[in-house]
Amino acid sequence: MSFSNTGKVWTVSGFAQYLNGIKAPTWAKSVCLHHTAAPSLNQRPDGFLAKHLENLKDYYSNQLGWRSAPHLFIDDDQVWGMTPLTVTGIHASSFNRTALGIEVLGDYDNEDPKKGRGFECWKTAAAATKILLDWLKLPVNDKTVLFHRDDPRTTKTCPGTKVQKPWVIDLIKDFKYSSNPPPTLAPSFAPLAPILKLKGYSDGDIKKGLKSANGKIFWREKWLETAYYDKTAGATMISLAEIDSIQKSC
């Protein structure tokens, strides 16, 4: 499902490590930044809690009827998931098909992004954006860092009139990984068939149960979000991060 990362939360360094096990989507050519506006910083004095993300998921899926949502939500010091990063989200109509969407906690038409908690939120957002762009192997510039208000189909000021792009780009470029050198963001994958054979499935079972549709790979009815077919290896590959869930479902 396209809300399946709801409830996942990472520190900045943990987020970089999380991406190690995921194949970067070829459709993502940029990151689009938003502010939540409501809730504001004042309305979330302790940042996001898990229940807040569940409430947002309910709003997007049940009230708006959306099939997906923004990919990430940022507060003072954490990165929260919602839509998987391998799936197109819904956040800016002109950019949904080509950009990962990030919502930054705060109302930056009225709250200050350059001091206090506002600045902490934007530093975290800048770090997450840099990590994503490195993962996508994209440079940092005004073509890969988009604002919601760059969308010609909107009149919104998002991510706030007090947030200017040159300042945000400088924040992104200033981010330094805590390790030296930066962590390798190449995903770690393994062939899926040997894993299934260890669970007792025959070649015939695997051929019957492993299917692809609309560019997605399924084991029986379960969508394998990180799986892809490697033509060179002649095998379906899956991220090490997703292997545990496959083994539990077998």
Alpha carbons 19 and 229: distance in angstroms, whole number: 19
Residues 31 and 155 in one domain: yes
Residues 167 and 193 in one domain: no
183 found inside a domain? no
The least confident of 59-63, 160-164, 236-240 is 236-240
100 found inside a domain? yes
Residues 167 and 126 in one domain: yes
13 found inside a domain? yes
Residues sharing a CB contact under 8 Å with residue 220, sequence separation 6 or more, in sequence order? 209
Task: Indicate which CATH number applies to the domain containing 88.
Answer: 3.40.80.10
Of 126, 150, 174, the one marking the end of a domain is 174
Q: What pLDDT score was predicted for residue 239?
A: 74
**Token pair recorded at residue 96:** 């949904």
Residues 122 and 244 in one domain: no
Comparing 189 with 16, the larger pLDDT belongs to 16
184 found inside a domain? no
Residues 170 and 230 in one domain: no
Q: What pLDDT score was predicted for residue 190?
A: 80
Residues 217 and 97 in one domain: no
58 found inside a domain? yes
For residues 229, 231, 234, 238, the Cα torsion angle rounded to the nearest 10 degrees is -30
Checking if the pLDDT of 233 tops 80, the result is: no
Q: What pLDDT score was predicted for residue 111?
A: 98
Of 129, 145, 174, the one marking the end of a domain is 174
Residues 24 and 92 in one domain: yes
Task: Lay out the sheet containing 189-191: strands in order across.
Answer: 189-191, 235-239, 228-230
66 found inside a domain? yes
Q: What pLDDT score was predicted for residue 214?
A: 67
Of 174, 200, 223, the one marking the end of a domain is 174
What range defines the domain where residue 161 resides? 9-174
Tens digits of residue pLDDT in 107-151 = 999 999 999 999 999 999 999 999 999 999 999 999 999 999 999
Comparing 246 with 13, the larger pLDDT belongs to 13
Band (pLDDT 50/70/90 cuts) for residue 191 is confident
Checking if the pLDDT of 180 tops 60, the result is: no
Q: What pLDDT score was predicted for residue 183?
A: 56
140 found inside a domain? yes
| Share above pLDDT 90 across residues of the chain, in percent, rounded to a whole number | 64
Checking if the pLDDT of 234 tops 90, the result is: no
Residues 202 and 104 in one domain: no
The mean pLDDT of the chain is: 89
Structural domains in the chain (count): 2
Q: What pLDDT score was predicted for residue 179?
A: 56
Residues 160 and 203 in one domain: no
Q: What pLDDT score was predicted for residue 219?
A: 85
Q: What pLDDT score was predicted for residue 249?
A: 56
Residues 39 and 93 in one domain: yes
Alpha carbons 221 and 246: distance in angstroms, whole number: 12
